[in-house]
């Protein structure tokens, strides 16, 4: 079993370069199924969710070639199957984008129920509502979602809840539909905009991505023969910003879009950290113990739920009592039990948690319950006194590229060990 051995405390200092966004890449890769041609993706993060997305595409008949460490060429001209294997789709959440893409391109999709982080109930009713409104019939049977349509017709869809996945999936399903589709109460996350930009670069006609209302004028085909660079990962950048504050460090984060992190910057200033933006870099430093701060997660441009655990580490050692209210996921406080093993004083109940700041954390064996919990526990290990052994690295490898190398370069004492 692999584990990360982290010996702290370390003060993080130096430069780090952010990879392409996981949550954009895992949508754009299946979106290439819409293209009757070849396209090249750049700034692709080298993470396990991307590798499995590429393997599924190959099973469906696409040709995927890594042309450099972060670039892939995808040829989707000869799709031979509309059925994605259950053992592969169950490995990650974003496999649900295969439904919108296959439905759009082939009018048929059979996709095993998606897996992914266990964050409580993760319904896909809004995805299904959107597909059905476009004219598809959708059934869930024997662990699979089976969707088909003789043809898809543009329509108006109101999302009952703001959903990243449903917004992107309906966008994928409607790109080649007859007529115009509108998505009202759409998600506005940077990766939603990135998927729309990718599709437009390939010949789609999508307007309003990044606002509450997205309008998709159906086109007859997407042309390919283009290169698209995936947006930098907002959550990875935010993870390093919070690691800088937690370790009272001084870190310059390159290849990021500071505007995507405005709400985090505001919170870091409340915590007593300093932030300086310059082009595609953010310089974050903190010279003293962080201040207490309250946080409420909400859809973009609100505070991202995917940065909540990492912010929780800062509040665990802040001066005073802080409260986090989690408004997106039911079970995103599992990391707090692990932080308590390290000496934190956190009481989590339902969707809120009270953080009584302690003076320091102490190393302990801890387990990542999900991807962002894993990132949070790495930060906790870096600032804690003594050795932290972190297990369940599969979660972390799904979404962070070379995470221990990046932290090591900033001064952390962190090693991946294969334990007998
Ligand atoms: C995406 O998940 C991200 N995953 C998640 O990132 C992220 O936490 C989440 O958006 C919120 O920002 C990917 O992009 C692959 P949602 P998604 O649909 O699309 C409810 C990470 O750590 N809902 O925006 O699955 C749902 O229960 C991961 O990188 C419905 O009720 O999330 C939740 O409360 C974890 N019905 C809220 O909406 C639906 O049909 C937001 O979910 C869909 C969602």
- pLDDT category of residue 342 using cuts at 50, 70 and 90: very high
Q: How far apart are the first and last CA of the chain?
A: 7
What separation in Å is there between the alpha carbon of 67 and the centre of ligand 1? 31
- pLDDT category of residue 115 using cuts at 50, 70 and 90: confident
Residue with tokens 């995808």: 74
Quick one: which of 213, 225, 222 has its CA closest to 105? 222
What separation in Å is there between the alpha carbon of 236 and the centre of ligand 1? 17
Ligand 1 contact via 127 beta carbon (within 6 Å):
yes
The count of C-alpha atoms lying within 13 angstroms of the C-alpha of 285, restricted to the half-sphere facing its C-beta, is: 9
Ligand 1 contact via 54 beta carbon (within 6 Å):
no
- Total residue count of the chain as it appears in this document: 420
Ligand 1 contact via 26 beta carbon (within 6 Å):
yes
Residue nearest to atom 25 of ligand 1 (CA): 165
- Ligand 1 atom with the shortest distance to the CA of 168: 19
CA distance 346 to 321: 10
Helix 234-246 / helix 308-316 crossing angle, nearest 10 deg: 0
- pLDDT of 283-310, one tens digit each? 999 999 999 999 999 999 999 999 999 9
Residue nearest to atom 7 of ligand 1 (CA): 306
- Ligand 1 atom with the shortest distance to the CA of 305: 8
| 121-134 mean pLDDT | 93
- Ligand 1 atom with the shortest distance to the CA of 125: 40
CA distance 410 to 15: 7
Ligand 1 contact via 124 beta carbon (within 6 Å):
yes
Q: Which of 94, 165, 399 to mutate to test the pocket of ligand 1 (most atoms within 8 A of CB)?
A: 165
Ligand 1 contact via 117 beta carbon (within 6 Å):
yes
CA distance 177 to 9: 56
| 116-124 mean pLDDT | 76
Quick one: which of 372, 238, 231 has its CA closest to 303? 238
- pLDDT of 130-158, one tens digit each? 999 999 999 988 888 999 999 999 999 99
Q: Which of 122, 238, 325, 370 to mutate to test the pocket of ligand 1 (most atoms within 8 A of CB)?
A: 122
Quick one: which of 96, 82, 148, 105 has its CA closest to 124? 96
User: What's the confidence (pLDDT) of residue 255?
Assistant: 97
Ligand 1 contact via 122 beta carbon (within 6 Å):
yes
Q: Which helix (H) or strand (E) holds 215?
A: strand 213-217
CA distance 134 to 170: 9
Ligand 1 contact via 161 beta carbon (within 6 Å):
yes
Quick one: which of 8, 59, 2 has its CA closest to 29? 59
Given a cut of 80, is residue 25 above it in pLDDT? yes
What separation in Å is there between the alpha carbon of 185 and the centre of ligand 1? 14
Ligand 1 contact via 125 beta carbon (within 6 Å):
yes
CA distance 272 to 136: 52
The one catalytic residue among 54, 117, 256, 263: 117
Lowest mean pLDDT among 157-161, 210-214, 359-363, 416-420: 416-420
What is the Cα gyration radius of the chain? 21
Instruction: Please spell the DSSP secondary structure of 331-370, one letter per residue.
Output: T--HHHHHHHHTT-EEEEETTEEEEE--S--B--EEE-SS
- pLDDT of 43-97, one tens digit each? 999 999 999 999 999 999 999 999 999 999 999 999 999 999 888 888 788 889 9
> Collapsing DSSP states into helix, strand and coil, what is residue 387?
strand
CA distance 345 to 353: 10
Q: Which of 164, 301, 302, 371 to mutate to test the pocket of ligand 1 (most atoms within 8 A of CB)?
A: 164
What separation in Å is there between the alpha carbon of 174 and the centre of ligand 1? 20
Residue with tokens 């095993």: 112
CA distance 413 to 381: 9
**Other CB atoms within 10 Å distance of the CB of residue 80:** 8
What separation in Å is there between the alpha carbon of 401 and the centre of ligand 1? 21
- pLDDT category of residue 113 using cuts at 50, 70 and 90: confident
Quick one: which of 202, 190, 158, 143 has its CA closest to 304? 190
Residue nearest to atom 43 of ligand 1 (CA): 124
Quick one: which of 326, 381, 384, 323 has its CA closest to 357? 323
- Ligand 1 atom with the shortest distance to the CA of 330: 34
What separation in Å is there between the alpha carbon of 307 and the centre of ligand 1? 14
More confident residue, 90 or 207: 207
Instruction: Please spell the DSSP secondary structure of 217-266, one letter per residue.
Output: E--S-B---EEEEPPB-HHHHHHHHHHHHHTT-EEEEES--GGGGHHHHH
Is 106 among the catalytic positions?
no
Ligand 1 contact via 93 beta carbon (within 6 Å):
yes
What's the mean pLDDT when you consider all of the chain?
96
What pTM, to 2 d.p., does this model score? 0.97
């Amino acid at each position: 079993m692999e584990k990360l051995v982290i010996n702290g405390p370390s003060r993080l200092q130096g430069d780090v370069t952010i990879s392409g966004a996981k949550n954009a890449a895992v949508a754009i890769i299946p979106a290439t199924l819409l293209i009757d041609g070849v396209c090249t993706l750049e700034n692709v993060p080298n993470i396990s969710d991307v590798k499995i997305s590429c393997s599924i595409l190959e099973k469906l008949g696409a040709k995927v070639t890594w042309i450099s460490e972060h670039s892939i060429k995808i040829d989707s001209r000869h799709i031979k199957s509309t059925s994605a294997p259950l053992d592969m789709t169950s490995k990650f959440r974003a496999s649900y984008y295969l439904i919108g893409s296959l439905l759009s391109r082939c009018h048929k999709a059979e996709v095993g129920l998606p897996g992914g982080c266990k964050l409580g109930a993760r319904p896909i009713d809004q995805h299904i509502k959107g597909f059905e409104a476009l004219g598809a019939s959708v059934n869930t049977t024997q662990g699979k979602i089976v969707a088909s349509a003789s043809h898809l017709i543009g329509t108006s869809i109101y999302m009952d809840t703001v959903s990243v996945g449903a917004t992107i999936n309906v966008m994928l399903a409607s790109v080649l539909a007859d007529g115009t589709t509108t998505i009202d109460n759409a998600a506005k996350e940077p990766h939603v905009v990135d998927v729309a930009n990718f599709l437009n670069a390939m010949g789609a006609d999508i307007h309003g991505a990044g606002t509450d209302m997205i309008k998709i004028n159906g086109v007859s085909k997407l042309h390919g023969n283009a290169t698209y660079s995936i947006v930098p990962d907002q959550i990875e950048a935010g993870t390093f910003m919070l690691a800088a504050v937690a370790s009272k460090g001084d870190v310059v984060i390159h290849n990021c879009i500071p505007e995507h992190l405005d709400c985090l910057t505001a919170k870091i200033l409340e915590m007593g950290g300093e932030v300086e933006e310059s082009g595609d870099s953010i310089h974050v430093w903190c010279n003293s113990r962080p201040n207490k701060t309250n946080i409420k997660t909400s859809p973009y441009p609100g505070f991202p739920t995917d940065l909540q655990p990492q912010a929780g580490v800062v509040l665990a050692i802040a001066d005073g009592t802080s409260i986090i209210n989690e408004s997106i996921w039911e079970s995103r406080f599992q990391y707090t039990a692990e932080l308590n093993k390290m000496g934190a004083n956190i009481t989590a109940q339902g969707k809120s948690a009270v953080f009584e700041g302690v003076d320091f954390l102490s190393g302990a064996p801890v387990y990542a319950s999900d991807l962002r919990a894993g990132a949070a526990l790495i930060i906790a290990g870096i600032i804690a006194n003594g050795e932290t052994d972190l297990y369940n690295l599969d979660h972390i490898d799904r979404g962070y590229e070379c995470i221990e190398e990046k932290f090591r370069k900033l001064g952390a004492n962190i090693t991946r060990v294969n334990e007998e």
